[in-house]
C-alpha cells in the first residue's frame, strides 16, 4: 500500500479536556467515519481527539470549532501497518517447514522446506498458532504417506497450500471467499516458484465447479473458524477420498468437542491434536 496521502481520507486532531470531546464530536457527527480518544497527559487533564473523514471537511463546518481549541486537519497518510509490523517478526520453523519474509535469508539446509511469505492483505504468515499447528500436522503427515491431490480450503495467504506443494511436489487447489486472499496466494506461489503446482479459486466453501470436479481429495486442510467447520462438515467429508486425511484448525480448545462431534457424525475421528496456546489443530481420519 502506498505511503502517499489518500485524498479520500482526512483526519482532524484536537487536544482538549475529556468532557468537551462529546460537544466537538456532535459538530461533525453527520460527516465523520470514526473517532478515537487517547489520553496525552497522565493525570487525565488533556486528551487527543482524532476524527476521520472520507472527504475534506468544509471550512464552514470547521469554523464551528470553538476558537479556544487549536486543531490540525490533513490528509491521512495510509500505511499497511500489518505489513510494517510483520517485517520485524522472526522466521518460523514448524517441523521441517521454514517460513520467512523476503527480508530474511533462505534456510541453508536442503532438507528444510523453505517458503518466502511476505506480510500482505490476506491472513496467514505462519506465525499464528492455527497456521503453525497445521504446518506441524502437515510435517507429520508427510512422514507417513504420499499425497497426490490436495485442497486448501480457506487458504488466506496460501501458506498451507504452498507447504503441501513444496513438501510433496504435487498439485494443490487453494480456495478462499476473499478475493484479496486469492490474489495474495497467487503472488506467493509465484514468489516461491510454485505456480505450476498451485491453482487458486475464489469460492464460498465448496460451492465451486472446479472444487467439485477435482474431488475427491486425499488431503484437505481447512484453517478457518469453528462454526464454519461445523457447518461444512458434510461437504468437506464428502470431498475427502476413502482413506484421506483432514487437517482442521481455527478452533479454540473449548470448541474442539463441538467440531469433532460434527465430523464424528460423518465417520471421521481424531488421529492427532496439536495444542498451541488456546488454539487446537486436528488431524482427522476415517
Which are the contacts of 49, defined by CB distance < 8 A and separation ≥ 6? 13, 14, 15, 16, 21, 24, 25, 35, 36, 37
Please report which helix (H) or strand (E) contains residue 223, including its range: strand 217-223
Asked whether 194 and 165 are in contact (CB, 8 A), the reply is yes
How far is residue 25's CA from residue 142's CA, in Å, rounded to a whole number? 57
CA gap 3, 11 in Å, rounded: 15
Q: What is the H or E stretch that residue 96 is in?
A: none
Beta bridge partners of residue 217, listed in sequence order: 240
Alpha-carbon span 15 to 69, nearest angstrom: 7
Rounded CA gap, 285 and 237, in Å? Answer: 10
Angstrom CA distances, 227 to 66, 112, 220, 256, stand at: 50, 34, 17, 11
- Cα 39 from chain centroid (whole Å): 31
Residue 106: per-residue pLDDT = 80
pTM for the structure as a whole: 0.69
Q: Which residues contact 214 (CB under 8 A, 6 or more apart)?
A: 149, 151, 173
DSSP H helices in the chain: 21-28, 59-62, 81-86, 129-144, 159-168, 179-191, 209-214, 226-231, 233-239, 256-264
SS3 118: coil
**Based on C-alpha coordinates, what's the Rg of the chain?**
24
> Phi, psi (5° rounding) for residue 254?
-70, -10
Q: What is the pLDDT of residue 119?
A: 59
Q: What angle do CA 169, 173, 175 make, to 5 degrees?
A: 140
CA distance 107 to 129: 22
**Residues with Cβ < 8 Å from 160, sequence gap 6 or more?**
124, 131, 134, 135, 138, 152, 221, 223, 247
Q: What pLDDT, on a 0 to 100 scale, did the predictor assign at position 79?
A: 54
Strand partners, 48: 15, 38
In the block, which residue shows the cell 527480508? 103
What pLDDT, on a 0 to 100 scale, did the predictor assign at position 110?
Answer: 77
Q: DSSP letter for 107, please.
A: P
Taking only the tens of pLDDT, the chain with its 286 residues reads 444 444 468 889 999 998 888 889 889 888 887 777 777 877 778 888 988 888 888 999 999 999 888 899 988 765 554 455 455 557 888 889 998 887 777 887 878 898 988 755 434 445 678 998 999 999 999 999 999 999 999 999 999 999 999 999 999 999 999 999 999 999 999 999 999 999 999 999 999 999 999 999 999 999 999 999 999 999 999 999 999 999 999 999 999 999 999 999 999 999 999 998 889 999 999 9
Amino acid at each position: 500500500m502506498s505511503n502517499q496521502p489518500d485524498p479520500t481520507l482526512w483526519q482532524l486532531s484536537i487536544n482538549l479536556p475529556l468532557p468537551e470531546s462529546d460537544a466537538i464530536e456532535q459538530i461533525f457527527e453527520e460527516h465523520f467515519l470514526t473517532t478515537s480518544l487517547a489520553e496525552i497527559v497522565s493525570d487525565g487533564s488533556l486528551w487527543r481527539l482524532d476524527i476521520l473523514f472520507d472527504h475534506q471537511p468544509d471550512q464552514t463546518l470547521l469554523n464551528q470549532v470553538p476558537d479556544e481549541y487549536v486543531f490540525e486537519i490533513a490528509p491521512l497518510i495510509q500505511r499497511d501497518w500489518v505489513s510494517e509490523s510483520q517485517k520485524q517478526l522472526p522466521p518460523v520453523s514448524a517441523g521441517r517447514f521454514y517460513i520467512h519474509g523476503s527480508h530474511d535469508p533462505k534456510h541453508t539446509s536442503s532438507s528444510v522446506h523453505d517458503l518466502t511469505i511476505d506480510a500482505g492483505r490476506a491472513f496467514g504468515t505462519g506465525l499464528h498458532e492455527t497456521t503453525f499447528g497445521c504446518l506441524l500436522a502437515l510435517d507429520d503427515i508427510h512422514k507417513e504417506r504420499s499425497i497426490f491431490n490436495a485442497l486448501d480450503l480457506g487458504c488466506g495467504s496460501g501458506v498451507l497450500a504452498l507447504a503441501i506443494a513444496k513438501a510433496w511436489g504435487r498439485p494443490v487447489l487453494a480456495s478462499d471467499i476473499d478475493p484479496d486472499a486469492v490474489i495474495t496466494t497467487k503472488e506467493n506461489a509465484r514468489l516461491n516458484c510454485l505456480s505450476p503446482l498451485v491453482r487458486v479459486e475464489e469460492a464460498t466453501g465448496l460451492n465451486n465447479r472446479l472444487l467439485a470436479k477435482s474431488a475427491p481429495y486425499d488431503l484437505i486442510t481447512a484453517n478457518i473458524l469453528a462454526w464454519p467447520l461445523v457447518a461444512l462438515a458434510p461437504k468437506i467429508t464428502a470431498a475427502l477420498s476413502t482413506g484421506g486425511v483432514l487437517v482442521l484448525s481455527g478452533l479454540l480448545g473449548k470448541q474442539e468437542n463441538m467440531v469433532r462431534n460434527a465430523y464424528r457424525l460423518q465417520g471421521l475421528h481424531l488421529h492427532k491434536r496439536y495444542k498451541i496456546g488456546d488454539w487446537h489443530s486436528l488431524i482427522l481420519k476415517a
